[in-house]
Structure 1
Amino acid sequence: MPHITSHDGTRLYYEEAGTGTPVVFVHEFAADYRTWEPQMQRFSRSHRCVTYSQRGYPPSDIPNDPDKYDQAKFRDDVIAVMDSLKIDRAHVVGHSMGASTALHVGIKYPDRCISVVAAGCGYGSSADPKTVEASRAASRDNAKMFSSHTMEEGARIYGDGPTRQSQKYKDPRGYAHFVKMLGEHSSVGHAMTMANLQAKRPTLYDMEADLKKFKPPLLIVVGDEDEWCVDASVYLRRTAPTAGLLVVPRTGHTITSEEPDKFNAALAELFADAERGRWLAHKPSK
């Protein structure tokens, strides 16, 4: 099984397909490298596509050290994947937890990004400190839930959250596949990620100064049923100068697999415009 070794020695499983301009896919909390299959099949026809399981997600390593789950390490894992595969620049496509990581890559390493995608981004972000703390407390509670249940039980509980309901009823087969894959993860990895990344990472509002200077072309995608992320996505669009926003109707948080055709169409437009230097063609040149 192919692995790369990140900067702190954590081994990350990856798969790649296709040739051409590189794309690196960064999955959400309730996902792994397999979740990007609709995108891998579509874009490996024209691009070099890389998908990987983040630290804490099999078949990648599952560290027991809480210090190995901070946002900077997840961010630098993207660069480690690119470095190991000799990729100088790529489209960095992130979903939810992965979208936050993609934004941090775009901030810290803008020259490595042809473009950045932030889909379903912003859980826990608010201008209200009480709301932020409530979200952090929910993440800590989820960490305890994963620690006290089998992974299969935890998957059924977490996977039945309010922002997953549109997929559950719209696409029962796809939803069942999502829960099944979630149940194959690691309880330790999920508890560690919730307690040390989700409950501690900076909010979008904390990142405002950096977001106002964001350089790579940025596409924000959110489902209008994704109550966690709609307001945060609008805030992100208003803050990052290179951002465009797509709101997909009647769609929840699992947007990349719930509406893959619409999501893929948006990616195709971004990739083409960013590669031609035309993403901001609608604005006056400075």
Structure 2
Amino acid sequence: MSIEIKSQYITTPRLTHYVLESGLETGIPVIFVHGNVITSAYFKQIMLQMPSKYHCYAYDQRCYGRSSGVSIDATKGLKDFSDDLYYLMETLNIPKAHLLGWSLGGGVVMQFATEHSDRILSITLEASISPYGYYGTKDERGTLIFPDAAGSGVGPSALNLKSLFENKNIDENDPKSMVGLFRNAFCKPGNRLPEELEREYIEEIYLTKIGDDFIPGNYQACENWPGWCPGDRGLYNAISSKCYNVESIINIEIKPPIVWIRGEDDIIISDNCLLDPANLGASGKISNYPGEEVYPKQPMVRQIRSVLERYQENGGRYREFSIQNCGHSPQLEKEAEFLSIYLENLEENSSSL
């Protein structure tokens, strides 16, 4: 039986989402939540291979793809996004679902779980952000390096991304172009996708809403090294270590099983993240680096593992899968291996409907 993917616009009390659907309408609900600067289209290849007994949804989050460009209140962490997911489930009359969150989407799913774990059959974290946000922390418990979370929020890497959108550089030979970013950061260098798919995915990136209220957010200078800290608007501030912290997931009463899938060579979510201010400082790309004893690299992978281990100690279940020769996009780079792990998890955890 061939799988058909349908698309439609769904208006909730909060905004209008672009939504892809596949599988039996009476099937077990599965919701895919995408990452930063990408869209629901990145899940099409997986949706086409899902058993038809699953009713799959992939939606564009606020400010991404074809969904509404609604402002992001960074002071609430990712609550704007998790509330969007809640109201989308309400509007679509989905009582419970398997949730997969990729990168930023993993952060959204963890935020959602802290408030609505009774609506979740299972959680899959794919190359997820840390429960303590992005940059500005120094240990497994997410301790801030400075009280203002300096180095987190909208810094040079976010502003460089903004310029990529403005310049629309897609030169295949320029490593700093959007094509270069996709090939060398989204994927492990050398893990090339079919040309047609790569072109589609890069075109989808350019649907991102850019601005201080959207992506990346507003810039805030500070006195502590490296000279910036989180502002109060936009995505990069929402995932800052000042605004985003979902360590409380370890204490939720209903604990859905969690599967964590990551690429062994991911440079975006890593204990040695390429764009961590500490790495940029040590390499001279940000001046006056005070040294690792003052400003160490964020141990993102160890932070995720620490929280999941405590989740398990408190009565939950989790499993970790590290895929070799794989970067930030396991479902794209290692599709068969990813799908095998993912479907096994769904089969094991579909009995609670």
Which amino acid in structure 1 is aligned with residue 150 of structure 2? E
Amino acid at match of 1:169: G
1:171 pairs with one of 182, 186, 192: 192
Find 1:13's aligned residue among 3, 18, 21.
18
Q: Match for 1:83 among 86, 90, 103?
A: 90
Change (3 A) 1:48 1:148: closer
After superposing the two structures, state which structure 1 stretch, 199-208 or 19-28, moved more: 199-208
Query: What is the CA-CA distance between 1:161 and the residue it aligns to?
Result: 8.0
* RMSD between aligned residues: 3.1
SS in structure 1 at match of 2:145 = helix
What percentage of aligned pairs have identical amino acids?
18
Once the two structures are superposed, residues 24-79 of structure 1 have per-residue CA deviations (whole angstroms, 9 ceiling, x without a partner) of 0000113101000122112152300001111112311112x343995112001112
C-alpha separation between the residues in 1 aligned to 2:183 and 2:144?
A: 23
Question: Max radius of gyration: which structure?
Answer: 2
CA contact (8 A) 2:32 2:58 kept: yes
CA drift of 1:119 comes to 0.8
Q: Aligned partners of 2:164 and 2:182: how far apart in 1?
A: 17
Task: Indicate the residue corresponding to 2:173 in structure 1.
Answer: none
Correspondence 1:72-221 to 2 at 5 A: 72-122=79-129, 124=134, 126=137, 127-130=142-145, 133-138=150-155, 141-143=157-159, 145-146=161-162, 149-150=165-166, 152-153=168-169, 156=178, 159-160=181-182, 163-166=185-188, 168-173=189-194, 176-177=198-199, 180-188=202-210, 192-195=214-217, 196-201=234-239, 203=241, 206-213=245-252, 215-221=255-261
Maintained 8 Å contact 2:78/2:244: no
State the Cα distance separating 1:103 from its structure 2 match: 1.0
Write the distance in 1 (CA, Å) between the matches of 2:240 and 2:310.
16
- 3-state DSSP of counterpart to 2:66: coil
Kindly state the Cα deviation for residue 178 of structure 1 after the two structures are TM-superposed: 6.3
Deviates more, 1:14-23 or 1:156-165: 156-165
The CA deviation at 1:133 is 3.5
Aligned to 2:224: none
TM-score (norm 1): 0.82
The alpha carbon displacement at 1:275 in A equals 1.5
* Pick aligned residue for 1:266 from 322, 336, 341: 341
**Residue aligned with 1:136, SS:** coil
Q: Report the TM-score, using the length of structure 2 for normalisation.
A: 0.68
The alpha-carbon distance between structure 1 residues 102 and 264, as it changes in their structure 2 partners (threshold 3 A), is same
Once the two structures are TM-superposed, the CA of residue 143 in structure 1 deviates from its matched residue by 4.5
User: Do the aligned partners of residues 181 and 262 (structure 1) sit closer, same or farther apart at CA in structure 2, a change above 3 Å counting?
Assistant: farther
Residues matched between the structures, number: 273
Shift of 1:198: 2.7
Aligned structure 1 segments of 4 or more residues deviating by more than 4 angstroms: 202-205
Report the CA distance shift for 1:172/1:260 in structure 2 as closer, same or farther (over 3 A): closer
Distance 1:176 1:275 in 2: 33
> Which sections of structure 1, spanning at least 5 residues, go unmatched?
278-286
Report deviation, 1:187. 4.5
Q: Please say if 1:234 is aligned against 2:305.
A: yes
Match of 1:58 among 42, 58, 65: 65
Cα pair 2:38 2:201 within 8 Å, conserved: no
Q: Tell me how far apart the structure 2 counterparts of residues 6 and 158 of structure 1 sit (CA, whole Å).
A: 36
Distance 2:244 2:60 in 1: 27
- Residues 1:157 and 1:16: Cα distance change in structure 2 (over 3 Å): closer
Q: CA deviation at 1:144?
A: 6.4
- Aligned 8 A contact 1:56 1:189 in 2: no
AA aligned opposite 1:194: P
Given the superposition, is the C-alpha separation of residues 273 and 136 from structure 1 closer, same or farther in structure 2, using an over 3 Å criterion? Answer: same
* Counterpart secondary structure, 1:257: helix
1:114–1:2 Cα change, 3 Å: same
